[in-house]
Amino acid sequence: MNPIREALCSRCGRPADTYLRYAKLNLCKEHFLDYILARVEDTVKRYRMIKPKARILAAVSGGKDSSTMLLTLSKLTGKFDFELTALHIDLGIDEYSTEARMIVEKVCRIAGIRYAIIGLEDLLGLSIPKLARRIYRPPCSICGAVKRYLLNLAGVEAGVDMVALGHHLDDLAVYILKNFLLQNLEDIRKLGPKTEGYDGFLVGRIRPLYEVYERDTALYVSFAGIPYQSLECPFHSVGMEDRIRAFLDGMEEDSPGFKIAFARSIARSLSKYPQPRYEVRRCGLCGMPSQSDVCSFCRMMMKVLGKPLGLELRDRVREIVSKL
Ligand SMILES: [Zn+2]
Ligand SMILES: [Zn+2]
């Protein structure tokens, strides 16, 4: 027998399935799902993320975070009057990517959202592990750069107004603090709830889970009966970020809600952080944003394939996203 009296849902009085320390709430599954949806709705409103009639492209990985983002946003399309589609980038990392792709297809069907998949093997003839081996760089650094490039390219070619990312509060707090410790102050500006784009070649980004904890994304998909990626990326490495995460978790433990307060104060002071010193230019080969004459993606392709893919790649991506 459990000696502790059963906790009851603060909303309906039925047995609770979880307790949210930061909100001091016991909630049953149903009211937890409602609560998280309301948090996302508040976040979208608070940071004016979505303009009426906007076209939003959600980046989905098969992980709990982006699935929660897609499912909650899909329930808000009527309320905020926007169109939502999804994009998945298949990185070609063995079973990890196979599982991710299957989950993405399932989640998009459940949410009733049209989606497109860019397969790296099909597009470049190269998976992330192959790419990393060819240019002697750690897979994680390449993976991030390739995903950012292709997501922006897909957004440009699909003609969307914003790309929605699944980054949650816990990760964002870590990245912000890491950049502060390293004094990469201009990078902090890019980690806010919303980043504006440049007309025609850099799509703006929104982060609807800016104030949603990682734990809540796991509960959300599990309570909603949605599958999520069980395999961890084989390239995941432990480093400085885990130390910072442990510190922030300790702060949250001492004062529940600390991370939300931190994220909100960062969002309020974002404009005080310096702008990047470089000017955003267009790559001479592909027309995408670049800090120099040729963008880092085109340079990477020249190294690996002997030639940049330039406009040819854009044509292929345009074809993939044309069904959205
Ligand atoms: Zn309830
Ligand atoms: Zn380029």
Q: Is residue 20 part of a domain?
A: no
Q: Is residue 232 part of a domain?
A: no
Q: Is residue 250 part of a domain?
A: yes
Average pLDDT value for residue range 207-211: 98
32-52: per-residue pLDDT in tens? Answer: 999 999 999 999 999 999 999
The alpha carbon of 305 and the centre of ligand 1 are apart by a number of angstroms equal to 56
Q: Is residue 162 part of a domain?
A: yes
The alpha carbon of 136 and the centre of ligand 2 are apart by a number of angstroms equal to 20
The alpha carbon of 31 and the centre of ligand 1 are apart by a number of angstroms equal to 5
Q: Is residue 29 part of a domain?
A: no
Among the bound ligands, the one closest to the CA of 299: 2
Q: Is residue 62 part of a domain?
A: yes
The total of structural domains in the chain comes to 1
User: What pTM, to 2 d.p., does this model score?
Assistant: 0.94
pLDDT for residue 166 is more than 90: yes
Among the bound ligands, the one closest to the CA of 11: 1
85-105: per-residue pLDDT in tens? Answer: 999 999 998 898 999 999 999
pLDDT for residue 1 is more than 50: no
Q: Is residue 67 part of a domain?
A: yes
Please state, for a pLDDT cut of 70, what percent of the chain lies above it: 98
The alpha carbon of 310 and the centre of ligand 2 are apart by a number of angstroms equal to 6
Among the bound ligands, the one closest to the CA of 26: 1
Q: What is the CATH number of the domain that holds 85?
A: 3.40.50.620
| 62 φψ region: left (φ > 0), alpha (ψ -120 to 50), beta (else) | left
Q: Is residue 4 part of a domain?
A: no
For residue 265, which of 306, 303, 211 has the smallest C-alpha distance?
A: 211
Range of the domain at 155: 45-224+239-274+309-321
Token duo for residue 254? 């001492």
User: How big is the chain, counted in residues?
Assistant: 324
The alpha carbon of 255 and the centre of ligand 2 are apart by a number of angstroms equal to 46
The alpha carbon of 230 and the centre of ligand 1 are apart by a number of angstroms equal to 28
Query: What pLDDT is stored for residue 319 in this prediction?
Result: 97
